[in-house]
Structure 1
């Protein structure tokens, strides 16, 4: 029955969410250089709109297990679908997200994302670009905002594991921040054309202190973000 209902639910979800997103996008483009408070509220509102559509149109609930929300922390989040990428402004208070640099080159959207606090990651970046990225991250941390990174670098299907991107350990070391790994199991419900109803869980692991060797931080984060990957 759940599989049968997924088709009409999804057919209702797609136009409702995307058409309903248009006013948020237009408001964000107007406000991003004028009023940061209202602009950030619009971005959070758009993320909340997505969560609302998932709940009432798709039948997807969100469950938080042992949540910890604090500034000055690098959250390492498992990435299985676009759900958690869209959900970050709803889940966290004005988060700063490390994102693929290509996303910031999208006309309109890229400028809005940069204004909100997305930090573009150039995988083949030189020393100058890396210094700029870290400087921007430190500036945002000084604003008492949490940093979010998807350490696998891309979406990974549920049930599979992938080595963490080498840049994660470098960012961890150079920023000198504690890490809180976050597991998420959105893939089976959301990463599909016909989305299923059910519960998407976020599981927050214990905080990992700064200064650990690369092998240890990578092993601990990989294990923690895959806690729901079964």
Structure 2
């Protein structure tokens, strides 16, 4: 049954997604709001496919503010990159430059309001990231970042990359860490499994803390599900 679910998901989700990605540059001609609505339509479709084809349910724990915030999130699977786009009302998402460099799609992602992060972390790249983030904030949008820098397997807790500290210092926003355990049902390799994915919004980290303290709080919160004895 698990194999059948995976085959069905691949047969339905990926062809439709490919069509939507190919159409995204044309949608982007309609402006940023059009791209945001298009992206949300895609993520809703993803949610329907994961729920009814793969048997994956989502449980949301904790609360988030009604005003814009900086959301650093754990990254274990493609799942949360799409699910959080919908849950956070189309936030500006920090993406690595390699994705933005994809022809046509990258241009559409910039029209959406993606914030480009360069792994070289040069001063010029950091200034560009800050400009993108401030533009998103001026539009009343939250910002989503995966501060560990890459997708990790369950149990891995790498240190935060410098991009988070830069955004935290410059934007003066409340920070809402997001923990997830999506890797338990959506492994990097192998079949996706039915089950429950938890998205836990942690306690708000206020702006203005020393960098080490803010990073420690965020790192602990996004990894909270890694060592939760109740799970």
For Structure 1 versus Structure 2, the TM-score category normalised by the shorter chain is: over 0.9
Aligned to 1:78: 74
**Structure 1 SS opposite 2:199:** strand
Greater CA drift, 153-162 or 51-60: 153-162
Q: 1:146 to 1:46 in 2, by over 3 A?
A: same
| Pairwise CA distance, 1:33 | 2.0
**Structure 1 SS opposite 2:225:** coil
| Pairwise CA distance, 1:115 | 0.9
1:198 to 195, 206, 212: 195
1:20 to 4, 16, 19: 16
| Pairwise CA distance, 1:140 | 0.7
Q: TM-score, normalised by structure 2?
A: 0.92
Confirm or deny: 8 A CA contact 2:54 2:194 kept in the other structure: yes
Name stretches of at least 5 consecutive residues in structure 1 with no aligned partner. none
Residue correspondences, number: 226
2:205 to 187, 208, 213: 208
Confirm or deny: 8 A CA contact 2:126 2:163 kept in the other structure: no
| Pairwise CA distance, 1:177 | 1.6
Aligned to 1:181: 177
Greater CA drift, 32-41 or 90-99: 32-41
Distance 1:172 1:194 in 2: 37
Name stretches of at least 5 consecutive residues in structure 2 with no aligned partner. none
Aligned to 2:155: 159
| Pairwise CA distance, 1:19 | 0.8
